[in-house]
Amino acid sequence: MTRGNVRRVARAVAGALPGLGLALGGFALSSSDMGWAHGGTSRYGVKYVAAFTDDDGHVDSNSKDPHDGGTDPGYSKNVATCYAHVIKSDTVQVTIRNAYPGYSCTIWSRIQNVGNKSLKYKTPTITSPSVLTVSSSLASACNVLKPSNKVYQRTVVHVEQSANQGASYQFLIKTRFEEANHGCK
């Protein structure tokens, strides 16, 4: 390749780079919006601000777990314990220790919209062992979370008969939202 050809190729590449940068930047921005609607630190700003259970031995909320003295919910024994912690802005980790078949507990997660758009609640992504049955819903009749509002998410876990006595189990709850087109009536 002659020196003139090298210069022409270099100029062509240099001229294409700004356009390529804009195209890639636009792709990165459009791709990030998809993940942002599903929790995480986002332009929507949905995040978990607290998480607790009705069986961690501590009364975290007088209205949500007023009798949390460490006695297993629904039973008169103090065997298993259930803990919940916010580990990322969009993820709560739940740990059950000394589990037994039939044990259940309720996890309360406080979600806040710190963004500037109303968002519609979607069923969270829950990653759990097969011996646990886990369901989640909002503790509100309205599934739309307006900017600056907070809402409780209620998650119930039940240890199935196939579980091992005295085992420990752990699972994750990851919040999901999408932009709302309208509010609640």
Residue-wise pLDDT for 49-62, tens only, equals 999 888 777 777 76
pLDDT at 36: 34
Distances in Å between the alpha carbon of 139 and those of 23, 85, 153? 43, 19, 6
pLDDT of the residue at 143: 86
pLDDT at 84: 95
pLDDT digits (tens, 9 = 90+) for 17-30: 444 443 333 333 33
Tell me which CATH code domain 46-179 carries. 2.60.40
Q: Which of 135, 126, 138, 137 is nearest to 170 (CA)?
A: 126
Q: How far apart are CA 113 and CA 67, in angstroms?
A: 29
Reported as a single tens digit per residue, the pLDDT across 94-114 is 999 999 999 989 999 999 999
Q: Which residue has the tokens 């919006």?
A: 33
Domain ranges of the chain: 46-179
More confident residue, 2 or 84: 84
**172, HSE (Cβ side, Cα atoms, 13 Å):** 10
Whole-angstrom CA distances from 90 to 56, 83, 93, 116, 174 are: 22, 17, 10, 17, 6
pLDDT of 109-154, one tens digit each? 999 999 888 999 988 999 999 999 999 988 777 888 999 999 999 9
What is the per-residue pLDDT across 154-168, written as a single tens digit (0 to 9) for each? 999 999 999 999 999
